[in-house]
Amino acid sequence: MKKVLGVYSAPRQHWVGDGFPARSMFSYTSHGKQLSPFLLLDYAGPAEFSPTTRPRGVGSHPHRGFETVTIVYKGEVEHRDSTGHGGVIGPGDVQWMTAGSGILHQEFHSEAFSRSGGTLEMVQLWVNLPAKDKMTAPGYQAIVDRDIPAVALPDGAGSVRVIAGEFDGHAGPAHTFTPMNVWDMRLNQGASTKLSLPTGWHSALVVLRGTVLVNGETVAREAQMVLLDNDGNSVDIEANNDAVVLVLSGEPIDEAIVGHGPFVMNSQEEIAQAIADFNSGRFARIAEPA
């Protein structure tokens, strides 16, 4: 089995704009080498929002050098970017955005969710790009819930939604630049399962809801991340109560990680160039809706 290297609790919640109360489960400043190709994961909510006529969120902001993966559990998020893509993602949907050479992006609560109010719960995962792909053309994958395979676990233990990679012969719909698995797992109270994870890959369990017992000895609760050793090829998970766990595993990108705010590159020179390109208007603009 993959040994547990540590259990990490999210720091205090911080606001991203006025619409996303987020807890950073990990970042490349703390776990860059241990979790490559994954850079950062923010868990937003669950939080209650009252009805409003003015959508809350975060306005136009740039990214370069990586991908953002937004998974919505509750509520709705409306997004637009400088490639011309946009739309609304709701419960179960995933927005997989490749910033690549540079993109401008904005995210707000949807108009319908803003009017009705309710619970918002989502995660945003940052996935690194290797040096050869950091300046790839920006792109976007709209992945709706019905296109994500939901695979039943043995003995009625729960299910795994395969967003990226493969689980039990089922391939996820997301295209990735390096090999990885992104699994959204539900584990029923009192149930247990054994997951196979590739030897040599970086792996982590992010507990979003519930309490789980890992490898029969390590307890992890809501808003905690379990870091696993590269060695070994499996992990045992038992749910003390109904649990939602995001399972991440990926082939490491053995390259320098240099980040500055919304830019993640391989050198300070590339960061300086990204800032200069953004300040000089070389990133495309988001067109206002007609």
**Which tokens in the block code for residue 75?**
């509520």
3-state secondary structure of 31: helix
- Could you tell me which residues are annotated as the binding site for Fe cation? 61, 63, 105, 107
- Could you tell me which residues are annotated as the binding site? 61, 63, 105, 107
Per-residue pLDDT, 120: 97
d(C-alpha 94, C-alpha 162), whole Å: 11
**Which tokens in the block code for residue 37?**
């190709």
Per-residue pLDDT, 290: 44
Domain range list for the chain: 4-250
d(C-alpha 119, C-alpha 59), whole Å: 21
Question: Over the chain (290 residues), what is each successive 10-residue block's mean pLDDT?
Answer: 95 92 94 96 96 94 96 96 88 96 94 97 98 95 97 97 97 98 98 97 97 97 97 97 98 97 97 94 65
Per-residue pLDDT, 286: 63
d(C-alpha 252, C-alpha 178), whole Å: 9
Q: Which residue's structure tokens are 């400088």?
A: 82
4-250 homologous superfamily: Jelly Rolls (2.60.120.10)
